[in-house]
Structure 1
Amino acid sequence: MWQAEGSVNLVSMDLSGVSGFHEIIVLTPRGFEEGLDAVMAVREQRTVLLNLSEMEAKLAQRTADFVSGGVYALQGQERRVGERVLLFAPASVDIDQLS
């Protein structure tokens, strides 16, 4: 089972009418290697909110590129939700954006 290192919050959501729970991982990496935690979480069918605000700009971009590539390879999806905040989800999760 995936075990993150560093700053992680795990949120379980009760999705009424849907069997079981879906976990959302809130990850604030401080180093590039922690980007692998995000990819592994998506691989295990978890959604990841990746907050890159604690990283230097170039390292944050490198980490975002790495995670984006890994999630793309898993046929997952990505959405930018804020300045240096990205949402990554497995293909089984629908992400809707309201305008």
Structure 2
Amino acid sequence: MGEKGKVSSFLNFFKLGDDDFDDFYDDPYESDVDDKELRKEEKRLKKEQRREEKRSFSRTPYDDHEDDYENEPEYSQKKNTSKGAAQSKVVPIRTSASDVEVCIFKPANFGESQEVCDILLGGQPVIVNLEGIDVEEAQRIMDFVSGCIFSIQGNMRQISKYIFIFSPKTIDISGDYIKNVAENNEGISIPTLSKEF
């Protein structure tokens, strides 16, 4: 064997011959896959064009950065350019008295004081009747509800010795018979209930 024979047998042993590389590029299966992918891409592009034609909204252009919502269109509102719209002011509308509902609540234990706070957070005033409840339990309820009133900057008024009305900041309480619990305007003072139940 000559040197060429030794080299070619060495290359064939390690599968480094020239004819091995040709097999990688002549795969008929790959051309079928490429054709299928091209057809799918063409169909997808046609569908996308049809969708674009159906849309009648004005769209703003996309940003160049990539994100998860890249394919979703952004819509803008059409602006009114008349003078009246440019000079209009936003004015808050107060709810009428007919929209306000007062809840009357007589908690049986401290666990029910959370319900009173939920009603207050919902924007409704609550009348709480603490008559007939253990003094320590009633004081805990008052402490809890007073904390809620303080956090929402609401109002607390005493109707009788053991009946109180609590309201959110947006609802005013007035009347001759109602006594303001916080006589000094420095904040809320929590009434201490006596043991005379």
TM-score over 0.5 (shorter chain): yes
Match of 1:62 in 2: 140
In the superposition, relative to structure 1, how do residues 30 and 98 fare at CA in structure 2: closer, same or farther (>3 Å)?
same
Q: What code does the residue aligned with 2:172 have?
A: D
Q: Determine the C-alpha separation between the residues in 2 that align with 1:23 and 1:56.
A: 29
- RMSD over aligned Cα atoms: 1.4
What secondary structure is seen at the aligned counterpart in 1 of 2:100? strand
Q: Which aligned pairs between 1:1-99 and structure 2 lie closer than 5 A?
A: 18=96, 20-98=98-176
**Relative contact order (alpha carbons < 8 A, sep ≥ 6): 1 or 2 greater?**
1
Q: What code does the residue aligned with 1:46 have?
A: Q
Q: What code does the residue aligned with 1:69 have?
A: G
Which is greater in Rg?
2
Given that residues 155 and 172 in structure 2 are in contact (C-alpha distance below 8 angstroms), is that contact kept between their aligned partners in structure 1? no
Q: What code does the residue aligned with 1:90 have?
A: P
Structure 1 residue ranges, 4+ long, deviating more than 6 angstroms after superposition: none
State the TM-score, normalized to the length of structure 1: 0.76
Q: 1:54 Cα deviation (Å)? A: 3.0
Which structure shows the bigger proportion of residues in helix conformation? 2
Which structure shows the bigger proportion of residues in strand conformation? 1
In the superposition, relative to structure 1, how do residues 19 and 98 fare at CA in structure 2: closer, same or farther (>3 Å)?
closer
Q: What code does the residue aligned with 2:134 have?
A: E
What secondary structure is seen at the aligned counterpart in 2 of 1:61? helix
Q: What code does the residue aligned with 1:23 have?
A: E
In the superposition, relative to structure 1, how do residues 69 and 94 fare at CA in structure 2: closer, same or farther (>3 Å)?
same
Q: Determine the C-alpha separation between the residues in 1 that align with 2:136 and 2:119.
A: 23
Number of residues of Structure 1 aligned to a counterpart in Structure 2? 82
The alignment-based identity, stated in percent, is: 27
Q: 1:62 Cα deviation (Å)? A: 1.0
